[in-house]
């Protein structure tokens, strides 16, 4: 690095308090329904719950635990408590239970605990189903789940589809409340940056909440100084690329769920699956998670040699030394050994899947798309990919990547690829395509009549006072991705002479084998460097604006201590492990610490699945 001494990144704040707060509130809420009761839990709250409380907490006067699912409940308790997400579907499930009880003349107490908050629509449904008077409602404000020392998730995967596809603003309120919570515990944040409509709305709502609460955090020493909010639709490209850093690959291959992964028999080389927590506590994982996959294997074999050497020290030991060894080191070594073998197993499994010719070619095509050459060949590759039914999600992903890098497909390709896709994977995907068009992921290059019509409609709304807050569902139609222009403007494709050094990477592009610097991370880097959006006007225009920057009595350079070097990067609509790795890298380079706050961890597959129209 340059002559300026590189500063170590500050330690992240302790987010354990978030878990404690959530746990205590849950216990309190459960106590609000005194006496024995059965607890029904929404399936996707299970894992988050698991991360903050153990069963003994849940067993707080709780007799039996059930999952909320589409089956009648066999519960015999006189008190039922439901721990749910605020969804219409779930409300009907509960209403059915209550109504069934009524029919059979059974009287029980029902309590619904909404997490993270209650929505009026839910009450509306309860009312329409005629059970509103029979249930009591509470809110469990469990907005933030720390997944790791630097990752906080809201665990709201539906945010992506609800907001970006359906234009549903419900969750913005939750985001604002989450920000308020974070600000009250670790703030006040002195600098706020953001880009995207949702980011702006969330920010404004958060501001309003802060004003109403009149709870000024003055006098407290902030632990976090900066916050950066970004909408997922600012950068779909990065999320659509195949991940090649280890953590991203593990996620793409095995699906990391709520910070832990189930390694199947092919990894554990036994007939059991093993659930492994993946975080900074895992000494092996923490060293390889951000590495490019090509360096991981080398590292692991080196590690296993070291481990062997440590074991081998036993040979020359006398009894006393041996006793020491067994009592002090052996346990650690064994633990390390276990983890090492798991990760080696995982690597092998990934290798088996990924090092095939197909994968190499796919990466090649992706790089070609990112750089914008050989479009025809790439298109044929995608066509063949579809024809051979390689994978519905992968095919879709490649189509979207093609569309978004090219500002839409040319009409001929658009039709033929879709036809091929429907023939391969079933006609129900007609609706999926419609969704992808609406969200702007898979579009047709046409400056036709329809576009201008929508545009004029949007501009009519802009005259309205509320326009700043309107996200028109149609808006995405009118929005061009402009990827090529942005890429040029921000030099996202690194020009390297010779081999890109993946072992000692020079920049964030390493997370995509040196072929592409993730756009989202680049924006963060640029804005933090410039302390605002000056000089980025053109990029902002290409991204469709809605940028903002606010400095509230921010201390000047140097002052303000470590907090000024801690940045919360908020991803509205999800962020990928590649982006996390890239920003962690940036943080190390710049001596600052990134904290990731996301509505959920996402990946290309998750995004595509969110767009698919369920058949039922």
Partner 1 sequence: MDCYTANWNPLGEEAFYRKFELYTMEWGLKEDLRDCLVAAAPYGGPIALLKNNARKEKSPSTRPLLEIYSASGLLLASIPWKSGQLVQLGWTASEDLLCIQEDGTVLIYNLFCEFKRHFSMGNEVLQNHVLEAKVFHTEYGTGVAILTGAHRFSLTTNIDDLKLRRMPEVPGLQKPPSCWAVLTQDRVTIVLLAVGQDLYLLDNTSCSVVTPPGMSPSAGAYLQMAVSFNYRCLALFTDTGYIWMGLATLKDKLCEFNSTIRSPPKQMVWCTRPRSRQRAVVVAWDRQLMVAGDSTECIRAGLQPPATFFPRALSGRHRFVLDEDSYLVPEPDGVRILSRTSHEFLHEIPEASQEIFKIASMAPGALLLEAQKEYEKESQKADEYLREIKDQKLLPEAVSQCIEAAGYEHEPETQKSLLRAASFGKCFIDKFPPESFVRMCQDLRVLNSIRDYQIGIPLTFTQYKRLTVEVLLDRLVLRRLYPLAIRICEYLRLPEIQGVSRILAHWACYKVQQKDKSDEEVAYAINQKLGDTPGISYSEIAARAYDCGRTELAIKLLEYEPRSGEQVPLLLKMKRSKLALSKAIESGDTDLVYTVVLHLKNELNRGTFFMTLQNQPVALSLYRQFCKHQERETLKDLYNQDDNHQELGNFHVHSSYSEKRIEGRVGALQNAVDEYYKAKNEFAAKATEDQIKLLRLQRHLQEDFDKPYLDLSLHNTVSTLIQDGHHKKAEQLYRDFKIPDKRYWWLKISALATRGDWEEMEKFSKSKKSPIGYLPFVEIAVKHHNRYEAKKYAPRVTPEQRVKAFILVGDLEQAADAAIEHKNEAEMNLVLSKCSAATDSAVMEKLNRARAQLLKK
Give me 65's structure tokens: 């635990």
Looking at residue 163, the DSSP 8-state letter turns out to be I
Residue 424 in the binding site for partner 1 (CB under 8 A) = yes
Residue 462 in the binding site for partner 1 (CB under 8 A) = no
Q: How far is the CB of 459 from partner 1 (least distance, A)?
A: 13
Contact 13, 223 (CB under 8 A): yes
Q: Measured between alpha carbons, how far is 262 from 256 in angstroms, rounded to an integer? A: 8
Residue 125 in the binding site for partner 1 (CB under 8 A) = yes
Residue 388 in the binding site for partner 1 (CB under 8 A) = yes
Question: From the list 167, 217, 555, 560, which residue makes contact with partner 1 (rule: CB under 8 A)?
Answer: 167
Q: Measured between alpha carbons, how far is 476 from 474 in angstroms, rounded to an integer? A: 5
Residue 393 in the binding site for partner 1 (CB under 8 A) = no
Q: Measured between alpha carbons, how far is 516 from 511 in angstroms, rounded to an integer? A: 8
Question: From the list 294, 321, 389, 459, which residue makes contact with partner 1 (rule: CB under 8 A)?
Answer: 389
Q: How far is the CB of 227 from partner 1 (least distance, A)?
A: 18
Residue closer to partner 1, measured from CB, 415 or 488? 415
Residue closer to partner 1, measured from CB, 566 or 572? 572
Residue closer to partner 1, measured from CB, 100 or 124? 124
Q: Measured between alpha carbons, how far is 454 from 472 in angstroms, rounded to an integer? A: 10
Comparing CA positions, the residue from 484, 506, 473, 526 lying closest to residue 195 is: 526
Residue 474 in the binding site for partner 1 (CB under 8 A) = yes
Q: Which one of the spans 267-275, 346-354, 423-431, 581-589 is the region binding partner 1 (CB under 8 A)?
A: 423-431
Residue 461 in the binding site for partner 1 (CB under 8 A) = yes
Q: How far is the CB of 421 from partner 1 (least distance, A)?
A: 9
Q: How far is the CB of 238 from partner 1 (least distance, A)?
A: 26
Q: How far is the CB of 435 from partner 1 (least distance, A)?
A: 9
Question: From the list 431, 454, 550, 605, which residue makes contact with partner 1 (rule: CB under 8 A)?
Answer: 431
Residue 448 in the binding site for partner 1 (CB under 8 A) = no
Count of other CB atoms within 10 angstroms of residue 564: 21
Q: Measured between alpha carbons, how far is 196 from 333 in angstroms, rounded to an integer? A: 48
Residue closer to partner 1, measured from CB, 386 or 575? 386
- Alpha-carbon distances, residue 211 vs 50, 184, 217 (angstroms): 34, 13, 12
Question: From the list 305, 323, 356, 415, which residue makes contact with partner 1 (rule: CB under 8 A)?
Answer: 415
Question: From the list 162, 233, 247, 282, which residue makes contact with partner 1 (rule: CB under 8 A)?
Answer: 162
Q: Which residues ranging from 194 to 223 are in contact with partner 1 (CB under 8 A)?
A: 201, 204-205, 208, 212
Residue 17 in the binding site for partner 1 (CB under 8 A) = no
Residue 120 in the binding site for partner 1 (CB under 8 A) = yes
Q: How far is the CB of 103 from partner 1 (least distance, A)?
A: 21
Q: Measured between alpha carbons, how far is 516 from 510 in angstroms, rounded to an integer? A: 8
Tell me phi and psi for residue 601, to 5 degrees: -75, 135
Q: Measured between alpha carbons, how far is 154 from 165 in angstroms, rounded to an integer? A: 19
Tell me phi and psi for residue 443, to 5 degrees: -130, 175
Question: From the list 110, 119, 164, 228, which residue makes contact with partner 1 (rule: CB under 8 A)?
Answer: 119
Residue 173 in the binding site for partner 1 (CB under 8 A) = yes
Q: How far is the CB of 608 from partner 1 (least distance, A)?
A: 17
Residue 425 in the binding site for partner 1 (CB under 8 A) = yes
Question: From the list 168, 329, 507, 589, which residue makes contact with partner 1 (rule: CB under 8 A)?
Answer: 168
Residue closer to partner 1, measured from CB, 438 or 593? 438
At 350 the three-state DSSP class reads helix
Q: Which one of the spans 28-36, 148-156, 368-376, 464-472 is the region binding partner 1 (CB under 8 A)?
A: 464-472
Q: Which one of the spans 115-123, 218-226, 535-543, 592-600 is the region binding partner 1 (CB under 8 A)?
A: 115-123
Q: Which one of the spans 33-41, 183-191, 270-278, 429-437 is the region binding partner 1 (CB under 8 A)?
A: 429-437
With 0-12 / 13-18 / 19 or more C-beta atoms within 10 angstroms meaning exposed / middle / buried, residue 115 is buried
Q: Measured between alpha carbons, how far is 607 from 330 in angstroms, rounded to an integer? A: 44
Q: How far is the CB of 170 from partner 1 (least distance, A)?
A: 5
- Count residues contacting partner 1 (CB under 8 A)? 56
Q: Which one of the spans 117-125, 178-186, 216-224, 481-489 is the region binding partner 1 (CB under 8 A)?
A: 117-125
Contact 140, 116 (CB under 8 A): yes
Contact 338, 282 (CB under 8 A): no
Q: Which one of the spans 331-339, 379-387, 516-524, 576-584 is the region binding partner 1 (CB under 8 A)?
A: 379-387
CB under 8 Å, gap of 24 or more: what pairs does 134-138 form?
A: 134/98, 134/102, 134/110, 135/94, 135/98, 135/110, 135/111, 136/33, 136/109, 136/110, 136/111, 136/112, 137/111, 137/112, 137/113, 138/29, 138/32, 138/111, 138/112, 138/113, 138/114
CA 98 to chain CA centroid, nearest Å: 36
Residue closer to partner 1, measured from CB, 421 or 512? 421
Residue 101 in the binding site for partner 1 (CB under 8 A) = no
What letters, b where the CB count within 10 A reaches 16 and e where it falls short, cover 308-321?
Answer: eebeeeeeeeeeee
Alpha-helical runs (H) found in 463-576: 475-478, 483-489, 519-530, 537-542
- Partnered with residue 114 across adjacent β-strands are 84, 139
Residue 361 in the binding site for partner 1 (CB under 8 A) = no
Residue 613 in the binding site for partner 1 (CB under 8 A) = yes
Angle value at C-alpha 201, between 113 and 608, nearest 5 degrees: 70
Residue 170 in the binding site for partner 1 (CB under 8 A) = yes
| Residue given tokens 């990928």 in the structure block | 576
Question: From the list 20, 67, 89, 530, which residue makes contact with partner 1 (rule: CB under 8 A)?
Answer: 89
Give me 357's structure tokens: 């010719």
- Give the residues lining the site for partner 1 (CB under 8 A): 87-89, 92, 119-121, 124-125, 128, 162, 166-170, 172-173, 176, 201, 204-205, 208, 212, 383-384, 387-389, 415, 418-420, 422-428, 430-431, 434, 461, 464-466, 469-474, 613, 615-616
């Amino acid at each position: 690095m340059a002559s300026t001494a590189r500063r170590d990144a500050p330690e992240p704040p302790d987010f354990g308090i978030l878990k404690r707060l959530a746990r205590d509130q849950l216990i309190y809420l459960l106590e609000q329904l005194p006496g024995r009761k059965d607890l029904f839990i929404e399936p996707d709250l299970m894992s988050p719950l698991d991360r903050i409380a153990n069963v003994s907490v849940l067993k707080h006067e709780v007799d039996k635990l059930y999952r909320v699912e589409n089956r009648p409940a066999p519960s015999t308790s006189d008190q039922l408590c439901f721990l749910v997400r605020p969804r219409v579907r779930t409300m009907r499930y509960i209403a059915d239970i209550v109504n069934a009880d009524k029919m059979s003349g059974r009287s029980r107490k029902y309590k619904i605990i909404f997490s993270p908050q209650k929505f009026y629509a839910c009450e509306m449904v309860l009312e329409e189903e005629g059970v509103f008077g029979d249930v009591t409602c509470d809110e469990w404000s469990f907005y933030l789940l720390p997944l790791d020392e630097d990752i906080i998730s809201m665990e709201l995967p539906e945010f992506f589809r609800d907001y970006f596809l359906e234009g549903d603003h419900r969750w913005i309120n939750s985001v604002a409340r989450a920000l308020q919570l974070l600000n009250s515990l670790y703030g006040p944040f002195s600098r706020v940056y953001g880009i995207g409509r949702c980011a702006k709305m969330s920010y404004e709502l958060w501001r309003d909440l802060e004003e109403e609460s009149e709870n000024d955090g003055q006098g407290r020493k902030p632990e976090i100084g900066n916050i950066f909010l970004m909408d997922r639709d600012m950068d779909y490209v990065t999320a659509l690329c195949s991940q090649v850093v280890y953590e991203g690959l593990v996620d793409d291959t095995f699906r990391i769920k709520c910070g832990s992964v189930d390694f199947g028999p092919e990894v554990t080389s036994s007939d059991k699956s093993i659930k492994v927590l993946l975080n900074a506590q895992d000494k092996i994982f923490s060293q390889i998670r951000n590495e490019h996959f090509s360096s991981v294997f080398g590292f692991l074999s080196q590690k296993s040699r070291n481990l062997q050497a440590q074991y081998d020290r036993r040979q020359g030991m006398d009894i006393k030394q041996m006793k020491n060894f067994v009592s002090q080191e052996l346990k650690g070594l064994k633990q390390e050994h276990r983890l090492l073998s798991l990760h080696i197993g995982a690597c092998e499994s990934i290798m088996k899947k990924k090092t095939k010719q197909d994968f190499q070619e796919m990466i090649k095509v992706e790089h070609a798309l990112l750089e914008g050459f050989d479009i025809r060949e790439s298109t044929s590759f995608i066509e063949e990919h579809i024809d051979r039914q390689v994978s519905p999600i992968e095919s879709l992903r490649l189509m979207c990547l093609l569309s978004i890098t090219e500002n839409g497909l040319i009409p001929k390709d658009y039709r033929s690829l879709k036809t091929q896709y429907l023939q391969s994977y079933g006609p129900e995907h007609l609706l999926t395509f419609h969704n992808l068009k609406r969200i702007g992921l898979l579009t047709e290059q046409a400056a036709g009549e329809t576009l201008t019509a929508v545009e004029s409609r949007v501009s009519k709304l802009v005259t309205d006072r509320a326009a700043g807050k309107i996200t028109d569902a149609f808006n995405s139609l009118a929005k061009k991705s402009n990827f090529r222009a942005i890429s040029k403007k921000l030099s996202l494709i690194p020009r390297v002479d010779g081999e890109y050094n993946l072992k000692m990477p020079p920049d964030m592009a390493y997370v995509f084998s040196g072929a592409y610097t993730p756009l989202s991370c680049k924006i963060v880097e640029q804005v933090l460097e410039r302390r605002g959006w000056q000089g980025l006007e053109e990029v902002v225009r290409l991204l469709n604006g809605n940028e903002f920057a606010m400095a509230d009595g921010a201390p000047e350079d140097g002052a303000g201590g470590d907090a000024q070097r801690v940045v919360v990067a908020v991803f509205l609509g999800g962020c990928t492990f590649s982006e996390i790795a890239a920003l962690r890298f940036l943080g190390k380079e710049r001596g600052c610490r990134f904290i990731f706050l996301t509505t959920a961890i996402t990946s290309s597959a998750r995004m595509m699945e969110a767009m698919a129209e369920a058949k039922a």
